[in-house]
Amino acid sequence: MLVQQAGLAADFHIDSAGTGDWHAGELADPRTRATSARRGVVLTHRAQQFTAGHFAQFDHVLAMDRQNLADLRAIAPDPQARQKVRLLRDHDPAGSGDVPDPYSGGAHGFDTVFELCEAACRGLLAELAVRS
């Protein structure tokens, strides 16, 4: 959504994957899809597991929390790949750290997570636009 709004969709390849395979092939949680749809983002992506082969396809690998950060760095095939992995919220101008699990945030957990991710993605896009 953000890269499209900035007119940069042709310049980016964005994908999503988890560190585990337990939801592979499934759509996002219905609450995630509903939260996103209310904000104009339609999620049709099916879950997949991140593998070492993905490092060759992407310049940036973003982890939602420190455990995923460690898991991703552990499967990185070399030091260069390991350096691609960073926490998503490291790009949030208002804060850093883990993106909380939306399931533990009560009725508004999915809204909070969406807002945190959007802020971090806006920050990352601004960083990348400056580098270009």
CATH of the domain at 45: 3.40.50.2300
Distance of CA 29 to the CA centre of its chain: 15
- Collapsing DSSP to helix, strand or coil, 101 comes out as coil
Q: How many domains does the chain have?
A: 1
Q: What distance in Å separates the CA atoms of residue 84 and residue 62, rounded to the nearest whole number?
A: 8
pTM: 0.91
- Closest C-alpha to 84, from 48, 57, 111: 57
Residue 97's domain spans which residues? 2-131
Task: List the chain pLDDT tens, one digit each, 132 residues.
Answer: 899 999 999 999 999 999 999 899 999 999 999 999 999 999 999 999 999 999 999 999 999 999 999 999 999 999 999 999 999 999 999 989 999 999 888 779 999 999 999 999 999 999 998 775
